[in-house]
Structure 1
Amino acid sequence: MKGARGWVIAAVVAIVIAAAAYLLQPHEDSPEHSSNSDASAGASAALLFSQAIGHQTDQVTGTFDTPAPMSLMFVFTPTSQYTAAEAELTRRWVQTGGGTLIYASEHGDRELDRAFGVTRVGGYAPGGEYTATPVVAGVERVAGGSTIMPLDPSPSQVAVLRSPDGYVAGYVEHVGVGTVYVLADPLVLCNGYLEKAGNGRLLADLLSSAGPSAHVAFDEYHHGLTVSDFAPQAWVTTPWGAALLWLLVAVFFGLVLRGRRFGPLIQRPAEVARSDAEWSVAVGQLLRRSSARAVTLGLLAGATERAVATRTGLPLHPRERFWNALWVRAPEVAGDLAQIENSLVAASATERDLLNAAQRLHEIAHPAPFRRPAPPSAPLRPSGPPPREWGGRGTSR
């Protein structure tokens, strides 16, 4: 479970970092042609131009709703797909409300294309400079992107722009009491192209098509995350949804492979508590195996100094002050310890020298307790009758 938890945490962190990197990165261009962007591919100039010529202009944000009847709305390359209900609402606004829709998108929106009967050619064609038809007054040529996905208009859809190869790059259609302009190349209305050819005149003609006092709106609602982006179909129809889906698949297979067994389970043996002597022997064996005689003597010398400091009541640090005080308080101990420490390099030559030095350090660190000799005891006086004298006077057989 710990391994699985680590994978999940790593996946969440990766998603958060990717989202932060995407949201916080400076956008030097505007592939969605947002009216908030001053980039070459942005549409902020169209919004400002609409305000400058006297149109009441705003943006559709927060929640999606169509403008008032007889208004004009720009829709530039939706990055969040229209829902079927939103597309149908837009169609009714055009058909019965007399609205004018400027729908400019390179690849189109599936629901908007379905609602307004937009058909696109499957391949790409050269763009660059488009020829305007007489439908657009005062415009002969406009400049745009290098390639387009041409439109395939029906008889009721009248071409307004054609590519150098004769493909339709834009058309106009009357839907009910309203009008729809469909452009296959939104760049013709973007900031970096309005000064080229007749692009500025084309924008002015489109703005005036709804009347001099018409309300103008720019759809920015579909340039961000919307509720429809979290629908089940968004997991396969949007780039970010497909990326998250692949990430989940990778995490799933990673967890499966991580939990795969390579053989039968082996019970972990119960741990047995080891004694201090076993740990000491183990450390000694490691030091001996690595031929670390100098390291061993250094450790023993340090331990001896700590033991001496504890016994004499002296602080071990700073070391120079400790030695000065030790020479005053216990000169014999200081002399023996200094003599041994000065000979540690020579004592690390062989294991016999190492053992001798270790024994001497041990004697200094843990000296044997001094025992006073016992006072001589008085001779024992025999109790009872004195022994008989054998063969002397006063004896009898």
Structure 2
Amino acid sequence: MRAWFLILPLAIALSAPYSTLSKRWDGLMALYMLLEELGYEVRRVTGSPFRLPKGMRAFFLVQPSEELKEGEIDELVEWAGRGNVLIAAGDLPLAPLAERLGLRLVEGSGIFESGAIGVQLRKPRVERAIVKTTWRLRPWDSRSDVIPLCGDAEGATVVMVRLGRGVVFLISSPFPLTNAGLKYEENVDLLSNLLSFLPRGSEVGFDEYHHGLRTIRLPMGELISIGGFLASPLG
């Protein structure tokens, strides 16, 4: 029984969409490993309750499977405004965050790729992103702090929002950051542009908390909760 108690939660995590533990097409393992290879200090954020660790300079929030609470959105926005980089990719689960930043998520025709807007993406130059989405981002009103980076006639698919001393990147699809999405050179170049705001070696975090992976600290030690199951860390 003990072996199942440990293996079942791990199996759930390895197949969870948009998790850094997953090798599936919609996992983020390739992104996690790429950032490590580039010299960033990468960590998974699993603490309960949800908190952004001190010292972290960038945070990836990709298609959360659990609803973002109002207080969590407040923390993310305030944290970014203190000089950090928030990269949020997804559709409906990120609508509340987009609204907080003055953007609305609208559904339109399906597209495979979207072209670059203006000359913002130059490190290296990006002409298009492979997004595979029906969703677009549109500002509620004209604002100088909201800069569309990729999109089409129906709206933006990649947006930069200047926030205090920091910046938020919103992508209307999780696909560009997935294992499948990063097989496209265009998306790797897009990622390079998003990371250009960070010094090499910075601490970068990934949201696993909203994918159901939690670290719970108890008097007897730490427990990992995955999809409602509990397991002690191996080793």
Alignment TM-score, normalising by the size of structure 1: 0.46
- The residue that corresponds to 1:201 in the other structure is 189
Q: Which runs of 5+ in 2 are unaligned?
A: 1-7, 215-235
- Would you say 1:86 and 2:72 are equivalent positions? yes
- Would you say 1:139 and 2:132 are equivalent positions? no
- Would you say 1:46 and 2:35 are equivalent positions? no
Q: Which has the higher strand share?
A: 2
Displacement of 1:111: 4.0
After TM superposition, list the pairs within 5 Å mapping 1:244-323 onto structure 2.
none
- Would you say 1:176 and 2:170 are equivalent positions? no
> For the residues of structure 2 that align with 1:67 and 1:136, how far apart are their CA atoms?
29
What amino acid sits opposite 1:223 in the alignment? H
> For the residues of structure 1 that align with 2:136 and 2:33, how far apart are their CA atoms?
29
- Would you say 1:189 and 2:177 are equivalent positions? yes
- Say if 1:142 and 1:197, in contact at 8 Å, map to a contact too: no
CA pair 150-80 structure 1, distance change in 2 beyond 3 A: same
CA pair 142-25 structure 1, distance change in 2 beyond 3 A: same
- Say if 1:169 and 1:185, in contact at 8 Å, map to a contact too: yes
Q: How many residues are aligned here?
A: 200
- The residue that corresponds to 2:58 in the other structure is 72
- Say if 1:56 and 1:215, in contact at 8 Å, map to a contact too: yes
> For the residues of structure 1 that align with 2:146 and 2:194, how far apart are their CA atoms?
16
RMSD of aligned residue pairs (Cα, Å): 2.5
Alignment TM-score, normalising by the size of structure 2: 0.76
> For the residues of structure 2 that align with 1:128 and 1:29, how far apart are their CA atoms?
25
- Would you say 1:150 and 2:136 are equivalent positions? yes
What amino acid sits opposite 1:45 in the alignment? A
Displacement of 1:110: 4.9
- Say if 2:91 and 2:105, in contact at 8 Å, map to a contact too: no
- The residue that corresponds to 2:44 in the other structure is 59
Identity of aligned residues (%): 27
Deviations 1:94-127 (A, max 9, x none): 11x2110001112133542343233112x33222
Deviations 1:156-176 (A, max 9, x none): 31111114x452111001100
What amino acid sits opposite 1:139 in the alignment? V
Task: Considering Cα pairs closer than 8 Å and 6+ residues apart, tell me whether 1 or 2 has the greater RCO.
Answer: 2
- Would you say 1:162 and 2:151 are equivalent positions? yes
- Given candidates 83, 99, 104, the residue that maps to 2:84 is 99
Displacement of 1:68: 3.0
Q: Which runs of 5+ in 1 are unaligned?
A: 1-21, 227-397
Q: Which has the higher helix share?
A: 1
CA pair 124-225 structure 1, distance change in 2 beyond 3 A: farther
